[in-house]
């Protein structure tokens, strides 16, 4: 697969590591409203919330949600009439022509699959369907079924045709699951729509993939204060803060979606090599960059690598940062963001 030039990326997640975003309500020269225009809907299999702080932005908010809904219909593996479902149905049979957006995200997904040596693999769909983590029927698969699925998890078996704009899964039984990158892309698209409509102060939170537009409402030079969720307490309990401007932040963690069986806990971050959840000391990971799509994929890859290799991976990138929280309550950050992260809970320790 052709290598692409690295671009800046982004992430941190609210469902995984929830945030508390601090803002005041006074007007300034950006024509901010006294109260944000806000809407919450259930999309992408999660709670989607957008807050716009500029005055008279109702139409912009409508357009942002229209775009989110449209893309959800194209990308959702769970929807039978989605483009991704058709790609999966035609696995081993024929290439499927898709929209420019789906093709673009698939192309980026394969880029990160190659860059991470498969730690992030968009062909994990058959595996995620087998585990059903996050659904009522989640269960540990039978070994035989899991071994069969492992045979069709391989990003090298995806064939893209740029001229025809098609995606072809070469092996029957393969399934693409772009959930680990498409939600970030959709979050970025919502932010793009708002900016195109003149919005310069907003928060887009699509189930934990968050993009903050512009500066905080506290002032034109003030960053947003994003609280980092304490992974061991109730949602909304924070253990630290990070300051961000016009950025994306996405978090993923083992507490985000999981279930217990026979006294063992199983989380949703599955290892494409073994078929089981990754087994390491990481409780949560937050990736920060300027777009959520790349951040989504990087988060999965950096989680799989573990803290030491993951920090080296992120520190070698331009415009990308990471916050790791371990099961021992140690907090590790990439080099560039260390001074921007403060710990407010004494039970956590920031490790230099």
Count of structural domains, the chain: 2
CATH number for the domain harbouring residue 274: 3.10.520.10
Q: Which residues are annotated as a binding site for Mg(2+)?
A: 180, 296, 300
Average the pLDDT over each of 220-224, 262-266, 330-334 and give the range with the smallest value: 262-266
Q: Is residue 50 domain-shared with residue 137, that is, in the same domain? A: no
Q: Please identify, among 127, 153, 179, the residue that sits at the C-terminal boundary of a domain.
A: 179
Q: Is residue 266 domain-shared with residue 287, that is, in the same domain? A: yes
Residue 115 lies in a domain: yes
**What secondary structure does DSSP assign to 232-269, as a single string?**
TS-TT-EEEEEEESSEEEEEEETTSSEEEETTEEEES-
Q: Is residue 129 domain-shared with residue 84, that is, in the same domain? A: yes
> Which residue has better confidence, 118 or 25?
118
Q: Please identify, among 119, 146, 179, the residue that sits at the C-terminal boundary of a domain.
A: 179
Using DSSP, state whether 69 is helix, strand or coil. Answer: helix
CA 253/CA 344 separation, integer angstroms: 20
Q: What angle do CA 132, 76, 154 make, to 5 degrees?
A: 65
Q: Is residue 168 domain-shared with residue 199, that is, in the same domain? A: no
Q: Shortest CA distance to 270 belongs to which of 160, 158, 138?
A: 138
**What secondary structure does DSSP assign to 285-346, as a single string?**
EEEEES-HHHHHHHHHHHHHHHHHHHHHHHHTSSS-EEEEEETT-EEEE-GGGGGGEEE--T
Tens of pLDDT, residue by residue over 178-218, are 988 999 999 999 999 999 999 999 999 998 789 999 988 88
Q: Is residue 271 domain-shared with residue 327, that is, in the same domain? A: yes
β-sheet bridge partners, residue 350: 331
Tens of pLDDT, residue by residue over 312-327, are 999 999 999 999 999 9
Q: Is residue 308 domain-shared with residue 193, that is, in the same domain? A: yes
Residue 172 lies in a domain: yes
Q: Is residue 159 domain-shared with residue 22, that is, in the same domain? A: no
Q: Is residue 174 domain-shared with residue 240, that is, in the same domain? A: no
Domain span at residue 107? 80-179
CA 291/CA 288 separation, integer angstroms: 8
Tens of pLDDT, residue by residue over 39-93, are 999 887 788 999 999 999 999 999 999 999 999 999 998 899 999 999 999 999 9
Q: Which residues are annotated as a binding site?
A: 180, 296, 300
CATH number for the domain harbouring residue 117: 1.10.3980.10
Q: Please identify, among 179, 210, 226, the residue that sits at the C-terminal boundary of a domain.
A: 179
Token duo for residue 113: 């699959």
């Amino acid at each position: 697969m052709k290598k692409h030039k690295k671009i800046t990326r982004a992430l941190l997640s609210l469902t995984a590591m929830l945030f508390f975003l601090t803002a005041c309500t006074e007007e300034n020269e950006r024509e901010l409203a006294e109260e944000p225009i806000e809407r919450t809907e259930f999309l992408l299999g999660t709670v989607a919330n957008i807050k716009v702080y500029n005055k008279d932005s109702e139409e912009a908010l409508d357009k942002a949600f229209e775009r989110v809904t449209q893309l959800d219909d194209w990308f959702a593996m769970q929807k039978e009439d989605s483009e991704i479902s058709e790609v999966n149905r035609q696995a081993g049979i024929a290439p499927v022509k898709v929209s420019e957006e789906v093709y673009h995200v698939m192309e980026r997904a394969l880029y990160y699959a190659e860059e991470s040596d498969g730690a992030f693999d968009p062909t994990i769909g058959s595996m995620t369907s087998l585990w059903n983590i996050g659904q009522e029927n989640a269960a540990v698969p039978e070994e035989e079924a899991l071994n069969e699925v492992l045979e069709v998890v391989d990003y090298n078996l995806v064939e893209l045709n740029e001229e025809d704009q098609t995606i072809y899964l070469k092996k029957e039984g393969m399934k693409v699951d772009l959930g680990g990158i498409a939600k970030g892309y959709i979050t970025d698209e919502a932010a793009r729509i708002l900016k195109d409509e003149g919005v310069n102060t907003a928060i887009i939170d699509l189930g934990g993939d968050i993009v903050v537009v512009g500066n905080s409402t506290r002032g034109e030079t003030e960053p947003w204060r994003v609280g980092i969720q304490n992974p061991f307490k109730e949602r909304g309990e924070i253990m630290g803060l990070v300051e961000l401007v016009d950025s994306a932040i996405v978090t993923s963690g083992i507490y985000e979606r999981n279930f217990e069986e026979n006294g063992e806990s199983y989380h949703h971050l599955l290892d494409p090599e073994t078929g089981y959840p990754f087994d390491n000391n990481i409780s949560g990971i937050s990736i920060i960059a300027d777009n959520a799509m790349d951040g989504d994929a990087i988060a999965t890859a950096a989680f799989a690598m573990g803290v030491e290799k993951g920090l080296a991976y992120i520190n070698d990138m331009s415009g990308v940062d990471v916050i790791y929280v371990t099961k021992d309550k140690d907090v590790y950050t990439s080099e560039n963001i260390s001074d921007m992260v403060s710990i407010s809970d004494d039970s956590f320790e920031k490790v230099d």
